[in-house]
Structure 1
Amino acid sequence: MSLPTFLPGRFILAQGDSHDYDELACFHYLARHPATWAGVWTIRYEHRPGRSRWADLRQRRLVAVAVLSYPVPSCRPRERFFGRGGFTRAQNLAFANANLRTISRVIVHPQFRSLGLSSILVRKLCQVCPTRYVEALAIMARAHPLFDLAGMTRITPASCDEPVYFIFDRAACPGGATLTDQRAHEQIRQIPTCPQQAQTTISPQQTTLQTCDDPK
C-alpha cells in the first residue's frame, strides 16, 4: 500500500508494552484490560521528522497501539472453523496455545483515525506472531474492515449475536494474501492435534513509516 504525504511529520512503528496500552485504553469500547500479553506494537507520530530516528520514543506522541494475547480456552467460532467441536476443553486449550495467538485490542487515537494505522498494526502482529495462526474476534468488525484490509480471512458468524471471527495463516500466506475458507480448511487438516509449541522470541525492532498510511 502506498503512503500519502499530506502530514508534515512521520509515523514510527515500534514494539511497545502495557504502559502504552494504558495511555490509549480510554479510547477503546471495552473498559477492561487484556487478560494476557503476548506482544504489543505501537505507532507514534513525530511532528519534526528531521530528528534522529533513534531519538527517545517517549518524545514522540503515541497515536495507536495493538495487543497480541494468548488465546482463551474456549471459542465457538474457532472450534467450528478448526473442526474441534468434539474435543475437550483441555485439548482445545492445548491446541490453541500451540498454534494460535489472538489480537485482543487495536486502538487508534481519535485524531488519527481513518489513516489506515489500525490495519498497519494488525499486519505487523500477523507478521511477528510466533505461532502459525493469528485470530481476532470483534463485534465492531461488522462496521469496520480493518482486519479485512490487513489480509485476515473473515468467517461469517453463525448468528447475528456473535462477533466476527478472523483468521490468518502465516504458513499459507507468507506474503499477506487473504486465505479463502476452503483453502484454510485444507491446510488445517494437516495440523497435529497438539503440536509442540514453537519457542520464538520477537527481538525489539523499529520501522519508520513516512508520513501516514493510506485511508481505510
Structure 2
Amino acid sequence: MKPSSSFCGRTCINIKAIKLPPDKPVVETIGKNFQEALELLSLVGLNDAFLFLRTYRQLSDGQKYRYKIAKLIESQAQVWILDEFASTLDRDTAKTVAYNLQKLARKTGKTVLAATTHTDLFEDLNPSVHIHKRYGKEITVQYYPNTPTLECSLTREMRIEKGTTVDYKALSIFHYRSAHLPPPRKIFTLKRGKETCGVIIYSYPPPTMFGRNRVWKGTLKQLQREVSTITRVIIHPKYRSIGLGTKIVKETLPLAGTPYVETLAVMAKYNPFFEKAGMQKIAETKPNRHLQEAIEKLNALGFKPIMLQSLKHNIEKIMKVGKERVIEILAELSEKGGIPRKRIIATSKAYPNHGEFVEKLKKLNVEELAEALKRLSFLAQTKVYLFLSPQPKSISKIHKTFLKTQDRLNQHWCQN
C-alpha cells in the first residue's frame, strides 16, 4: 500500500484509507513474501498459525485493528493518521493496541496523529504532544519527552502464580499444538485478577534434541535431573504484543527447578522473546531438502504451503485430487530416507521402515491423511534452539572445550 497524501513534506497515510484485503488468508495479503508477512504480523501480535489462516472478516475487532497497524508499517509512510483511534475496541484491547502503536512508531521513527475521546489511553499512548479540546474554544497543549512507554498499564495488574493443567487447557485453543502436551514438570500462569492471561509449561527433556550437544553433555540420568524444556508459552490473543511472552519466561526461569533450561521454538525466529528473557540462541535448523521437495509437489497439486496447517484445507484438496496422488508423494519422500516417518504417520512403532510407512499410509482415511500433511508442514518449518545456563558465559566455554576435544580425537584417528 502506498502513502495517500503528504503533511509538511512528509508522506502520510490514514488508517481509514486502508483497503480491506480480499477473502483469503491474511498471511497472503501483506508483505512482499511469506517471511515478510510473518514479520509484519508478529510485530502487531498476530503471530500464530490459526490467525495466519483466517481471512480478515474472520478476525475480531481488535485483531482487525492490529492488522491495519501492520499495513501502516508496510506502507512506509512517515506519518500515520488515526481518527477516532480504537473507538470500536473494548478498553483492555484499546490499551494494548495503544501501547503497541507507540512502541512500533518510535522504533521505526514514524509520526502518529491520533484523535480520540478516551482519556484512559493517555498513559499507554504516551504522546510527546498532547492537545486537549475542551468545551467551546478552550484548548490546552502540553509537551512531553519523546520517549517510549516501557510497560503497558495492564502489565502492572498481572502476577505470576503456580499453575495446573486446568490453566493450560484454558488457553490451549490458542496454540497450534493443543492436542498433545508432554508430561509437565512445572506450570506457571500469568493472572490478572481471576483471568488467565498466559501460561508456560516446563517439561522433562526428551532424550535427544537438535542443538543440545553444542552446549550440554551428560548421561540420560543427568539430563533428567539438570535440564528442563519449555514446551509451551501461550499468551491470550487480547494481551499479545505488550511483552508478556518475555515477562512470563524471564520471571519463571529462576523457578524452573533445574540449572539448565532449553527450548526449540518455531516463532522464535520472528519474535525473539526468549532471547529478551535472557536465553541464548544456539542453533537454527535448516529445512530438510526432501521435505521441501514434497511440499513443492503438493503445492503443484493445489495445496498451499501455508495452508497445510489447516485440516479443512487439506481435506478439501485431498477430496479434489484424490488420496492416491497424495500418498504417492509421501511414499516418494519416505523412499529417499532421512525423514521422521514415525511423526508423519503418528505410529506407535519407534522406527518404521519404508514398507511399513507406505502400508500405514494406504490405511489412512481422508481426515487422517489431512493430519499427516499438517504434521509434515510442521516438520518442514525452521526452528530455533535456545538455552539458559546458570552462568551464560559458560555456554561458549563449554562449546569451545567440546570443539577442541573433537579436534584432538579427529587428529588421533587421522594419525592412526
Sort the TM-score into its range (normalised by shorter chain): 0.5 to 0.7
In the superposition, the TM-score normalised over structure 2's length comes to: 0.36
Match of 1:154, as an amino acid? K
Report which stretch shifted further, 149-158 or 62-71.
Answer: 149-158
**Which residue number corresponds to residue 389 of structure 2?**
169
Question: Is 1:105 aligned with 2:232?
Answer: yes
Report the Cα offset of residue 74 of structure 1. Answer: 1.4
Of the three residues 235, 241, 258, the one matched with 1:131 is 258
Q: 1:130 to 1:5 in 2, by over 3 A?
A: closer
* Higher-RCO chain (CA-CA 8 Å, sequence separation at least 6): 1
Of the three residues 208, 212, 215, the one matched with 1:74 is 208
Q: 1:8 to 1:129 in 2, by over 3 A?
A: closer
Of the three residues 160, 185, 198, the one matched with 2:399 is 185
Q: What secondary structure does 1:79 align onto?
A: helix
Question: Is 1:63 aligned with 2:176?
Answer: no
Match of 2:199, as an amino acid? V
Q: How high is the sequence identity, in percent, across the aligned residues?
A: 30
> Does the CA contact (< 8 Å) of 1:67 and 1:103 recur in 2?
yes
Report the Cα offset of residue 21 of structure 1. Answer: 0.2
List gaps (5 residues or longer) in structure 1.
47-59, 85-90, 174-178, 190-216
> Does the CA contact (< 8 Å) of 1:142 and 1:164 recur in 2?
yes
Deviation per residue, 1:61-83 (Å, 9 max, x gap): 11100000000111131124336
Looking at structure 2, the residues matched to 82 and 126 of structure 1 have their Cα atoms a distance apart, in angstroms, of 18
Looking at structure 2, the residues matched to 142 and 102 of structure 1 have their Cα atoms a distance apart, in angstroms, of 18
Which runs of at least 4 in structure 1 moved beyond 6 Å after TM superposition?
A: 186-189
Match of 1:156, as an amino acid? A
> Does the CA contact (< 8 Å) of 2:216 and 2:398 recur in 1?
no
**Which residue number corresponds to residue 276 of structure 2?**
149
**Which residue number corresponds to residue 120 of structure 1?**
247
> Does the CA contact (< 8 Å) of 2:211 and 2:283 recur in 1?
no
Report the Cα offset of residue 148 of structure 1. Answer: 0.6
Match of 1:18, as an amino acid? T
Superposition CA RMSD, Å? 2.7
Bigger strand share:
1
> Does the CA contact (< 8 Å) of 1:153 and 1:180 recur in 2?
no
Report the Cα offset of residue 136 of structure 1. Answer: 0.7
Bigger helix share:
2
List gaps (5 residues or longer) in structure 2.
1-148, 288-380, 404-416
Q: 1:186 to 1:128 in 2, by over 3 A?
A: farther
Looking at structure 2, the residues matched to 6 and 150 of structure 1 have their Cα atoms a distance apart, in angstroms, of 20
**Which residue number corresponds to residue 32 of structure 1?**
179
